[in-house]
Chain A
Amino acid sequence: AQSVTQPDIHITVSEGASLELRCNYSYGATPYLFWYVQSPGQGLQLLLKYFSGDTLVQGIKGFEAEFKRSQSSFNLRKPSVHWSDAAEYFCAVAETGTYKYIFGTGTRLKVLA
């Protein structure tokens, strides 16, 4: 069965520091992979997605993610974090022809001034 693991429940970084959020998936075929961000009291906003092609994907707000098939990973990165990046981040996996997204348990990011 498909599954997504986000090993880090909470991460705290200082403003201006680099960030990496981990995501591992369990899936047989080539997955469709997504990163979403949820600010308090808000819905989920798509940061970026990977379907095929270049394994380094650029997203909004300066985020990028790298797909590594050998490690079944899709880690999210940002070179310099801003205080406004504090939020909950979700990794998700899906398959074409299905009608559901499997989400990880989320990583809460705290940014120190």
Chain B
Amino acid sequence: DTAVSQTPKYLVTQMGNDKSIKCEQNLGHDTMYWYKQDSKKFLKIMFSYNNKELIINETVPNRFSPKSPDKAHLNLHINSLELGDSAVYFCASSLTDSKDEAFFGQGTRLTVV
């Protein structure tokens, strides 16, 4: 019974396409996050949502649009994909805020060709 699940696990697409990554958590947590891990394994916050409300947008291009239909789901839509968007995207959740540990999904490896 996966706590934080993301789909798809792998995504290969051409430049200019639009794609979405879905994330769901069944932990009853209030806060969800999107992190980007680059080729050097560096993890950088993109967005965080608390009870469906956007809290952090960390200077992410407008082509990235998160959506949280309810507090158990946080999806990431990316328009006009660029080569530099290739990375592993992790969804995570925490009980209240970041004083609680984050639970991570398995990641989505996005490759833009």
B-contacting residues of A (Cβ < 8 Å)? 32, 34, 36, 38, 41-46, 49, 51, 88, 90, 94-103, 105-106, 108
Contacts and interface: CB of A to CB of B under 8 A. Distances in A.
Contacts of A97: 97, 99
B33 A99 contact: yes
B24 to A, nearest CB: 14
A99 B101 contact: no
Contact of B42 (A36, A98, A103): A103
Interface stretch (B11-19, B50-58, B59-67, B73-81): B50-58
Given A34-B101, A100-B45, A100-B98, 10 more contacts: A43-B4, A43-B90, A43-B104, A97-B99, A98-B97, A99-B33, A99-B55, A99-B98, A103-B43, A105-B42
B102 A106 contact: no
Contacts of B41: 38, 88, 105-106, 108
Given A44-B90, A100-B45, A95 B106 contact: no
A94 B99 contact: yes
Tell me which of A44, A90, A103 has the highest count of chain B C-beta atoms within 10 A of its own C-beta: A44
Range of interface residues on B (Cβ < 8 Å): 20 to 34
Contact of A99 (B50, B103, B104, B105): B50
A25 to B, nearest CB: 14
Interface in B26-57: 31, 33, 40-45, 48, 50, 55-56
Given A106-B41, A106-B42, A101 B105 contact: no
Nearest to A106: B41
Contacts of B106: 41-43
15 contacts: A34-B101, A41-B107, A43-B90, A44-B92, A88-B41, A94-B98, A96-B99, A97-B99, A99-B33, A100-B48, A100-B98, A102-B45, A103-B42, A105-B40, A106-B41
A16 B54 CA distance: 46
